[in-house]
Chain A
Amino acid sequence: MALTEQNVPAGDNNSQMDHSIVGAELDENTQQFLTFILAGEEYGVDILRVQEIKGWDAVTQVPNTPEYVRGVINLRGTIVPIIDLRIRFSIEQLEYGPTTVVIVLKVISGADNSRIMGIVVDGVSDVYNVKNEEINAAPDFGDGVDSSFVKGLATVDEKMVIILDIDHMLNSNELASVNKAVDDEE
């Protein structure tokens, strides 16, 4: 995987190698991000929150939920909601293709309370090590743009990566309030 880019010394065995990645190259100031592509832009999420990446598969629709909630799937016995990020970000919808994947994330909502959710994205991209000081705060886009999901912007290899605040983006209150807004509009 992309981990090999990190100039890992040729280890004797896998466990040592893993250890060296976590131990030697990551200090407190560095975080690893998994990035994915959505409508040509690269977004990053904290890699420790990623549970798994899986291909798109049929979902069971849940009635009376916002459009971006595609439905729920069975993830080894747990019911996991699937959210289409394109719809969530009001980006034009795209037919799901072979690279379309679901990234299953752990979302922390409130103290000791975590949920598992999946997001549908165009495709996964890479894993980066980003130092905390390399993350810039999101600029103010003005009233028209909701930037509350954006934790910051990072530059990696001259590319911009949008670091997402998944807790804020996916926690249930947010979903509930959006749901309410939809109801009110009706």
Chain B
Amino acid sequence: MTFDMSQFLATFYEESFEGLDIMETELLALDVGEADLETINTIFRAAHSIKGGSGTFGLNDVASFTHVMETLLDEMRDGKREVTQNAVNILLESVDVLREMLSALQAEDDLDSERIAIVKKKLDDLLASVSNESTAVAATEASVAEPATETAVPQVSGWTIYFKPHEDMLQTGNDPVRMLRELATLGELSSAVDTSSLPEFLLMEPENSYFEWTVTLTGDIKKSDIEEVFEWVEDGCELTITPIASDVTSENSELDIELIKTTFEMLAPQGEKLVARFYEELFKRFPDVQSLFANTTPEKQQTKLLAALELVVSNLEKQDVLVRTLTEMGMRHKNYGVKIEQYEAVSSTLLDVMQEFAGDAWTDKVAATWKAALALVTNTMIAGQQAEPAAEVENSDASVPAVATEKSTAKKAPAKRKASTEASSIRVSIDKVDELINMVGELVITQSMLSQLGEEENFGEEQIEKLKSGLIQLERNTREMQENVMRIRMLPISFVFQRFPRLVHDLSGKLDKKIELILSGESTELDKTVMEKIGDPLVHLIRNSLDHGIETPDVRVAAGKPETGEIHLNAYHEGGNIVIEITDDGAGLNLEKILAKAKGSGLVGESDKLSDEDIADLIFQPGFSTADVVSDVSGRGVGMDVVRRNIRALGGTVDVKTTTGQGSVFTIRLPLTLAILDGQSVVVGEEVYIVPLVAIIESVQVDTSLVNGITGQAEVYRLRNEYIPIVKLHDVFNIKPLHTEMKDGLLVVVEAEGKKVALLVDDLLGQQQVVIKSLETNFKSVEGISGATILGDGTVALILDVTGLISISKKNASNVKKLTVAA
């Protein structure tokens, strides 16, 4: 394969991220115990595509990681393994790791090899827990990973490869012999062929393959090279690749691994205390090392050390993984400015601290084994430290400040990168595209009809008629196409919503709460740019509702509520806005505490009288985001100012309504900067206005006998058994109507916020979908107008805001009343 694959890489990433989303969604949908086969299949297929793709692109870390997942899923699919909650959780975690790996690769960042190894270990353990057969595969797979430094990889004297092509392999155009030849180029090859499955001559199909081979390949060969040979037939054969034990006896084979493991397990429960004590002791004994940790917090460093220890212990048998990880760690340690002498200080301190914790169990033998093990670790790390070329040093000081920061930047960077790549492409549902294609088809037909007409020699009356109808058709085609092209930018809000089931699943587990998430209105469309920016504020609000809104099950039961809390996420269009509501049935805000806190911090004066709404609104004040509020005021209000700021930046609003003991509702309103609306075009005077179709109940011709005046000012229309106030649009907008007589006009009965009014207009035009443009971008908001749109002919039409119109008409009515009173 010599041609440039990189052009497909972007697609691969996009598809993989999508696959991961699918896996996540389906994993959450899996019923523990009785899993739906189709669901597992979907997950399996997603994993398989990622594995296949990453293999093709040479992303071996990803491929090998996914392979383990795939093996696990395969067993589930075949019914060999039960679907347990534990397995699902580990798979979910693996999805996260994969996502991180892919983001890192996409951003060309370093992989977080420790986290990968930890999660992979979990997967391996899970696999090992039932079938031993698969463990072998997993274990060998686990050992395949791109060696970071060639020198650090232990010597493997060779590989034994068992290769049995499926019978139909030849038909796929793959030739086993060629692969064997390819293998022979890698090293010294000896092979044995097993012809036992060869049928009798007469029964033999010449196009089938009946042989199986056992190949011994000696030499210093990377496993990935061997795998590459079989890359295209992976699914068409049985293949096992096992290493031949190295002649160089590994150093740690002398170690009593079991002993180390048991001591570690014994100490593990006290792990956190142990590492804390270790650092305390270390800094006491060797004060000069303290400066190395200047850039990180002790907590982070402790967690890191603990993780590293766990990793080392759990991977003692898997030498190559261990060596690689340690070498990398060593390299990083050099970047932190660790000197070689200091390793000795660390290991001696660690040994002493461990002894202190282990007590009597710390026998001489244990001590000696651990000492040897640590020496091995130290040496490997030092080797890693020295392996790095000296030239790196200059940059390293500036670029790699500390463990913690390194990690966080690594995580941030891909996120940014992802956002920018996302912005450059958009996934559109096939329906929308098909619709467009249909329209283009129609357009072409119209065009050919018109051009044919133009070529006719005797151009008379008849042709003019045809021409007119053709032009009308063309106009319609073009308008429809314009509308549809604009719709491409709109995506259903489910793209944002779909991440929340996972969030709720994870957090409710962490918080020991039972929470059900209900989603509705997922098909509400909104603009892609708005969608990208609304995600984070929503995550924040939902997390907030989970964390502080919903109570723990026992508190809920005590309060007479069902054990399981409910969070309802809803989206809908209203009055030119998109409204997203987050409703929880938790405890609600503690208004008294909020008020006390606000008074305490000077946000509110001591004597100020505030309504409940005003108090609830205080949580959005910047002053409420300080850390001590978390404990003081049941945590609500953390970073809420940021949420409000972000939403305001989108031109929206967020507010909260709360009922103590019954929960809170957060309402986000966003303008539909580019959202699409079904509208009815109406004519008033010379202007065309758009009335949102959702607001319209019916349109009627004016029957003057049904128009009644009330005290001579306001007019109502009797529609069946209701009296509906009439709003004369030309009066409200101060324009000259086409018809001076009311009977010539039409009434459009609209409803908003539960109130009905009848709009008097001159005429109705067609219904159409319009793309909402903001008036405020370059102008300002106008009462009664929610936005503007561009009609098919390129002119601007204003979109009526029904709610605003009702309030204008009320104001006018009261003005009239005042005037009459004054008169």
Residues of A within 8 A of B (CB): 58-65, 69, 71-74, 77-81, 115-117, 172, 175-176
A63 & B773 in contact (Cβ 8 Å cutoff): no
B708-745 interface mask toward A, CB cutoff 8 Å, 1 = contact, 0 = none? 00000000000000000000000011110000000000
A115 partner residues in chain B, CB cutoff 8 A: 777-779
A38 to B778, CA, bound (A): 24
**A to B contact number (C-beta, < 8 Å):** 69
Which one of B732, B790, B798 lies within 8 Å of A62 (CB-CB)?
A: B798
- 8 Å CB interface, B772-799 against A: 773-775, 777-780, 782-785, 788, 790, 794-798
CA distance A131 to B784 in the complex (A): 47
B18 within 8 A of A: no
With A63-B733, A79-B775 given, is the CB distance from A176 to B790 under 8 Å? no
Question: Given the interface contacts A72-B775, A80-B778, does A60 sit within 8 Å of B783 by beta carbon?
Answer: no
Q: Does B687 contact A (CB under 8 A)?
A: yes
Residues of B within 8 A of A (CB): 687, 732-735, 773-775, 777-780, 782-785, 788, 790, 794-798
Report whether A78 and B773 are in contact in the complex, using a CB–CB cutoff of 8 Å.
Answer: yes
Asked if A74 meets B778 with Cβ closer than 8 Å, knowing A62-B798, A63-B732, the reply is: no
Contacts of B783 in A (CB 8 A): 64
Q: Assess the B779–A64 pair: CB atoms within 8 A.
A: no
Query: In the complex, A64→B731 CA distance in Å?
Result: 11
Q: Are A64 and B733 in contact (CB under 8 A)?
A: yes
- The answer on a CB contact under 8 Å between A172 and B780 is yes
Q: Is the CB of A62 within 8 A of B785?
A: yes
B795 touches A79 (CB 8 A): no
A64 to chain B, nearest CB (A): 6
Contact among B774, B782, B797 for A64, CB-based, below 8 A: B782
A63 adjacent to B785 (CB under 8 Å)? yes
A60–B795 contact, CB under 8 A? Answer: yes
The 7 A-B pairs of least Cβ separation, nearest first, read A63-B733, A60-B796, A81-B779, A115-B778, A79-B788, A74-B790, A116-B778
State the CA gap A61–B798 with chains docked (Å). Answer: 9
Q: In the complex, which residue of chain B has the Cβ closest to the Cβ of A61?
A: B687
- Residues of chain B lying within 8 A (CB to CB) of residue A62: 775, 779, 782, 785, 798
With A and B bound together, what is the CA distance between A64 and B778 in angstroms?
Answer: 17
Tell me the complex Cα distance, A124–B129, Å: 84
CB <8 Å contact, A175 and B780? yes
Quote the shortest CB–CB distance from A67 to chain B (angstroms): 11
Additional A-B contact list (16), CB under 8 Å, known A74-B794, A79-B774: A59-B796, A60-B687, A60-B788, A60-B796, A62-B775, A63-B782, A63-B784, A63-B798, A64-B784, A69-B779, A71-B796, A72-B788, A78-B773, A79-B778, A79-B788, A116-B778
A79 in complex: contacting residue of B732, B735, B773, CB < 8 Å = B773
Closest to B788 in A: A79
User: Which residue of B is nearest A71, CB measured?
Assistant: B796
Contact B687 A176 (CB under 8 A): no
User: Cα distance A143–B719 when bound, in Å?
Assistant: 57
Minimum CB–CB distance from B113 to chain A (whole Å) comes to: 42
A19 to B782, CA, bound (A): 44
The interface centre, meaning the residue of A61, A63, A73 with most chain B CB atoms within 10 A of its CB, is: A63
- A-B CB contact pairs (8 Å), 8 listed: A60-B795, A62-B798, A63-B785, A72-B779, A79-B775, A79-B779, A117-B778, A175-B780
Taking CB as reference atom, which chain A residue is nearest B729? A63
Assembly CA distance A72 to B783 (angstroms) = 15
> Which of A71, A72, A115, A176 counts the most B-chain CB atoms under 10 A from its CB?
A72
Nearest-Cβ distance from residue A78 to partner chain B, whole angstroms: 7
In the bound assembly, the distance between CA atoms of A172 and B734 in angstroms comes to 22
Contacting residues, chain B, for A176 (C-beta < 8 A) = 780
B735 cross-chain contacts in A, Cβ below 8 A: 61, 63
Closest to B674 in A: A77
Closest to A172 in B: B780
* Known interface pairs A64-B782, A65-B782; A77-B790 also in contact (CB < 8 Å): yes
Q: What residues on B are CB-neighbors of A69 within 8 Å?
A: 779
User: Would you call A64 and B790 a contact (CB within 8 A)?
Assistant: no
Q: Which residue, of A59, A72, A79, A117, has the highest number of chain B Cβ atoms within 10 A? A: A79
B783's closest neighbor in chain A, by CB?
A64
Cβ contact within 8 Å between B780 and A79: no
Instruction: Knowing A60-B788, A60-B796, A63-B784, say if A78 contacts B734 (CB, 8 Å).
Output: no
Residues of B within 8 A of A172 (CB): 779-780
In the bound complex, residues from chain A placing their C-beta under 8 Å from that of B796 are: 59-60, 71-74, 79
Name the distance in Å between B586's Cβ and chain A's nearest Cβ: 39
Q: Is the CB of A64 within 8 A of B775?
A: no
Distance A72 CA – B798 CA, assembled complex (angstroms):
9
